[in-house]
Each structure stands twice: as C-alpha cells, then as structure tokens.
C-alpha cells in the first residue's frame, strides 16, 4: 500500500536532501608561452626567426576567441592578434625584445574576457645569403646578364589579366652605354620561389635612355620606382624617378605608361623609348615634377635623390592614389648647414591633392634623419613597415664609402595621425638593427663588404613574408671585379 507522509515530513526531506548545483567552471590555466622559431644553422652560425615567434596556450572552455598583444619592451604601438588557437605571431621587428599578454574573449566583441598571463621573447637579427658561389662578389650570381644598377621589380596581381596575372617584370639600369637609363627584363616563370626570380632576360627597344657622357650620369632617370596604378586611377604603370637636371641639381619626377599595366611604353609618339630630350615640357615623354629643391619651393633643399614610396603591398598590388601615402627621400643641403651637417639625410613626404609635399618642422627645415641613404620601406602588415638603408655618415658622395646596411621600423597606428605613416613614426637611428649577410659559402660579410650594396629592392615574390628577396647593386671595392652588377640575396630567417 502507498506510504502517506505529512506536509511537515516533506519539508524535512527537502531540507535534509542537498540541492543539485551546476559544478563551478574550472579556472583557466593557459600555461601561456612564447618561443623563438628555429633554429637555423649556416656554417657555424645558429640563429632563429627575425620577425616571428610561436605562441602556445591551453584552451579555455568558454572562449569565443583569444587576443594576444605584443609590445616592444622599450615601448611603442602594441600589435593585437586575434586568434582561435595557438599559432605564429608575425610582422615583428628583428632583434627586438617583446612583452606578450593573452586574454580569452568570452564573446565576439571581447566585451568580457579572462586574462591569461604574460610572456616575453626576443627576435633575432636578420640573416640573408647571397646567391652564387664562393666568398666574393666576383662569383656572386647576376640576375640579368647586362644589369648594372638600380633594380626594381613589379609583381602583377591575380586581377591583372591572364597574360600578366601573378607574373613579374624587372626594370634596371644596364651596362651598355647605348642603353643607359631604364631597361626591361622579362621572366616567363610562375612566381613561386626564389629560384623562379633568380634570372631575367633583357628586352631591348623599350624604356628610357639617359644622356651619359664622360663617365658621368647625365640628364634623365637615375634611381626610380615603378608603381602599378589601380584600375580606378587609370590602370597604368607610374614611373617615379630621380634625375639630374641641366642645372646640376637632382629632383624627383613622374610619368605614366601608355600601355597600361604592361609598363613598357611611356612615349606618346610611335617610339617606345624615351630619350632624355623627350622628358622636357612639351616633349613626347613629358614628366611631372614631384619633389623639387629650394628654387622650386622646398626651402634649404639642394637636391632630392634616392627615394621610395611606401605601399601596403601585402594588402594590394596597385596604388589607388591614396592621400597620406608616404615617400622617403634622400635629401642633400649642399653648403646650407642650417638643417643638417650630414651629406645624406632621409626626409619624408606625403601625397595629397595630386602632389607630394615634404614634411617640415617648426624650425623651417625638412624633418630628416641624418646619415640615412637609399631608404627602402617594406610593408609588414597594417601600418607597420621596416626600412632598409645605408647608414652613411660620410661628408660627401664619393665612391666606396663605409655605409653598412641597417634596419629601422615604424608603425603609423600610434602617431598623431593614426591612419598614416609619418616622419615621427620612425624609430630613432640609435635603434637601428644590423642586417647580416652570408656569402654563398656561409662566411659573413664584413660591414665594409656590406657597404657595396646600394639602390636595392626588398620584395616578396609570392606576396608572403616567408619569402623575401633582395636585389641590389653589388661590386668589388674600386670595381676590382668589373663594373657593378645586380645580384640577389634571400632572407633565411623571416
């Protein structure tokens, strides 16, 4: 028969029986660590990645995702990585100590999170290796048979059309006096590896001829950069170049191609070659002045020379003419010592209202970093760039100077204008990092030997920082192994 109990009995049972509770979540124990990637060994030298580290942690059951923040130990703009699991942190500066912090975000907006601790790690210096044999420039590989100096490569993107997509074209100053200026080099390979960009075929009949005489560079293009313009802005190739004018002063000019992104023909007439006489006002290759000197409206500037435009090439292969795009340019002040007593100075210019404008300080001088020659910016992602340069403290532009290659970094996200990379965003030259270069044999070049590099381009053939290639002028001291040529090096520890 059923058991009957009173209301009081039920109350007693309810009090005596513990209520079932959801177990409390276990606290997150991430065991967060950050470690170098490597090692890599060349000959007797062992080193690790220069721009990457490995971050590892245990998962949190309630996490939507994770945010890892990397901050230089000496300060600077933090880099925030949004990640779903342990992995590699990229785009870091070489030879730099970082502090890392992790948090588990409990929702997509990370409005609620759990801190997971901190870690630290230091990246290594960059190590490059020249292609070729031996331990001398005389046995280094030449990427193009008649190449002399000033290499520049354009890599076309996937939307450039079937004949150009994911291919590349070399521009360079050749050795033959009849073709001095800018010549084209072609490559039929699919651009996938260092080997695929190690050799180029000269193509005559296009480009620019400079009026050289008596062994000196005459009027017409010297250093230059070719920039594919977006379809919205005309889909042409924009050549920006440095030239010595008839008055003996260097200025920066530009001209657009007539054959779209192919970028071989800049002449509006039937000719496909621009002579120096075509570049003048009213000529068939009339050029536009971009950076002038004091007499053109830039006080104190005696010459504007080796330059490069900083472009976000990891994001897009064309330039949309964006306002705020930056240019780094080598400035000379001649006998005017009011702004700098150094012969080589890096200035900065911004693009806006269809023109380039040098940055000036409150003292009426261009903002400059003295001792920086031939600056070459390389995009690292977002507004982060690294800058290769020759550290040249010599008082003149004579040949065979001591000017070893070094590195600086900038992040525009932390500046006065957080959407731009401006002069103030560059590190002080006292923070410049070494750039190490191996001969093919595994012997390291001396600083004097590295001084033989000039007018270089550092680029990513596959659009991936894992493969970085440098083309550069190379030569034996005093041209002991013949005229300068264009050689190649590969970054071993990106």
CATH of the domain at 132: 2.115.10.20
User: Is residue 117 domain-shared with residue 258, that is, in the same domain?
Assistant: no
User: Is residue 130 domain-shared with residue 116, that is, in the same domain?
Assistant: no
Kindly report the CA angle at 154 between 148 and 157, in degrees rounded to 5? 160
Mean pLDDT computed over 10-24: 40
Kindly report the CA angle at 181 between 175 and 183, in degrees rounded to 5? 75
312-315: Cβ within 8 A, 24+ apart: 312/379, 313/379, 313/459, 313/460, 313/463, 314/379, 314/380, 314/381, 314/460, 314/463, 314/465, 315/379
CA distances from 391 to 182, 273, 371, 399, 445 (A): 26, 35, 6, 14, 16
pLDDT category at 215 given cuts 50, 70, 90 is low
Domain boundary (100, 122, 144) is at 122
The full DSSP string for 134-161 is TTSGGGB--SBTTEEEEEEEEE--TTS-
pLDDT category at 415 given cuts 50, 70, 90 is confident
pLDDT tens-digit readout, 270-303: 999 999 999 999 999 999 999 999 999 999 999 9
Domain boundary (56, 87, 122) is at 122
pLDDT tens-digit readout, 431-451: 999 999 999 999 999 999 999
Whether 136 is in a domain gets the answer yes
User: Is residue 151 domain-shared with residue 114, that is, in the same domain?
Assistant: no
Neighbour count for residue 41 (Cβ, 10 Å): 10
Whether 16 is in a domain gets the answer no
CATH of the domain at 90: 2.60.40.10
Q: What is the pLDDT of residue 9?
A: 39
Mean pLDDT computed over 331-335: 96
Burial of 162 (0-12, 13-18, 19+ CB in 10 A): exposed
Q: What is the pLDDT of residue 303?
A: 97
Mean pLDDT computed over 243-251: 92
User: Is residue 145 domain-shared with residue 95, that is, in the same domain?
Assistant: no
Mean pLDDT computed over 155-172: 96
User: Is residue 88 domain-shared with residue 155, that is, in the same domain?
Assistant: no
User: Is residue 108 domain-shared with residue 136, that is, in the same domain?
Assistant: no
- % of the chain surpassing 70 pLDDT: 93
Return mean pLDDT, the chain. Answer: 92
User: Is residue 354 domain-shared with residue 393, that is, in the same domain?
Assistant: yes
Q: What is the pLDDT of residue 218?
A: 64
Whether 452 is in a domain gets the answer yes
User: Do residues 372 and 388 lie in contact, with contact meaning Cβ atoms separated by under 8 Å?
Assistant: no
Model pTM above 0.75: yes
User: Do residues 146 and 154 lie in contact, with contact meaning Cβ atoms separated by under 8 Å?
Assistant: no
Mean pLDDT computed over 54-80: 96
Domain containing 107 equals 33-122
Q: What is the pLDDT of residue 16?
A: 44
First and final C-alpha spacing in the chain: 83
Task: Tokens 């031939």: give the residue.
Answer: 374
Backbone torsions φ then ψ of 473, nearest 5 degrees: -60, 140
Q: What is the pLDDT of residue 394?
A: 82
Whether 448 is in a domain gets the answer yes
What domain count does the chain have?
A: 2
User: Is residue 133 domain-shared with residue 42, that is, in the same domain?
Assistant: no
Residue 7 has pLDDT above 60, yes or no: no
User: Is residue 97 domain-shared with residue 163, that is, in the same domain?
Assistant: no
Residue 397 has pLDDT above 80, yes or no: no
Mean pLDDT computed over 446-460: 96
User: Is residue 457 domain-shared with residue 473, that is, in the same domain?
Assistant: yes
Whether 438 is in a domain gets the answer yes
Question: Lowest-pLDDT range, 15-29, 34-48, 382-396?
Answer: 15-29
Domain boundary (122, 149, 174) is at 122
User: Is residue 476 domain-shared with residue 329, that is, in the same domain?
Assistant: yes
């Amino acid at each position: 028969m059923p058991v009957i109990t009173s209301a009081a009995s039920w109350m007693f049972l309810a009090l005596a029986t513990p209520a079932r509770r959801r177990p409390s979540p276990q606290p997150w124990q991430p065991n967060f660590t950050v470690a170098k990637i490597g090692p890599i060994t060349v000959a007797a030298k062992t080193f690790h990645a220069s721009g990457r580290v490995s971050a590892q942690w245990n998962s949190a059951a309630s996490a939507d995702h994770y945010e890892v923040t990397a901050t230089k130990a000496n300060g600077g703009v933090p880099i925030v990585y949004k990640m779903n699991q342990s992995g590699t942190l990229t785009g870091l500066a070489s030879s730099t100590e970082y502090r890392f912090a992790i948090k588990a975000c409990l929702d997509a907006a990370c409005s609620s999170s759990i801190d997971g601790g901190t870690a630290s790690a230091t990246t290594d210096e960059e190590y490059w290796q020249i292609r070729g044999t031996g331990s001398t420039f005389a046995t280094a590989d030449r990427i193009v048979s008649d190449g002399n100096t000033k290499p520049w490569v354009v890599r076309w993107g996937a939307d450039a059309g079937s004949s150009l997509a994911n291919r590349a074209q070399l521009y360079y100053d050749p050795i033959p006096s009849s073709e001095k200026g800018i010549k084209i080099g072609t490559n039929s390979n699919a651009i996938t590896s260092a080997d695929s960009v190690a050799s180029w075929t000269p193509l005559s009949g296009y480009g620019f001829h400079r009026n050289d005489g008596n062994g000196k560079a005459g009027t017409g293009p010297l250093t230059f950069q070719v920039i594919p313009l977006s379809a919205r802005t005309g889909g042409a190739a924009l050549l920006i170049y440095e030239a010595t004018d008839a008055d003996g002063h260097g200025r920066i000019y530009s001209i657009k191609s007539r054959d779209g992104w192919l970028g071989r023909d800049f002449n509006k007439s039937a000719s496909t070659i621009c002579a120096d006489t075509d570049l003048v006002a009213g000529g068939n290759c009339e050029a536009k002045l971009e950076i002038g000197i004091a007499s053109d409206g830039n006080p104190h500037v005696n010459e504007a020379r080796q330059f490069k435009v900083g472009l976000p090439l990891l994001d897009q292969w064309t330039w949309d003419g964006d306002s705020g795009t930056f240019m780094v340019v080598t400035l000379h002040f001649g006998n005017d010592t009011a702004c700098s007593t150094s012969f080589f100075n890096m200035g900065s210019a911004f693009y806006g209202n269809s023109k380039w404008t040098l940055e000036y300080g409150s003292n009426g001088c261009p903002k400059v970093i003295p001792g920086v020659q031939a600056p070459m910016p390389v995009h690292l992602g977002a507004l982060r760039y690294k800058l290769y340069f020759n550290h040249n403290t010599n008082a003149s532009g004579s040949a065979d100077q001591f000017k070893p290659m070094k590195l600086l970094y900038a992040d525009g996200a932390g500046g006065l204008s957080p959407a731009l990379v401006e002069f103030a965003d560059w590190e002080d030259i006292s923070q410049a990092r070494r750039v190490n270069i191996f001969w093919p044999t595994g012997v390291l070049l001396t600083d004097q030997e590295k001084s033989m590099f000039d007018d270089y381009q550092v680029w990513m053939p596959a659009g991936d920082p894992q493969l970085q290639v440098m083309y550069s002028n190379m030569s034996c001291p005093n041209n002991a192994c013949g005229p300068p040529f264009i050689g190649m090096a590969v970054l071993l520890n990106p």
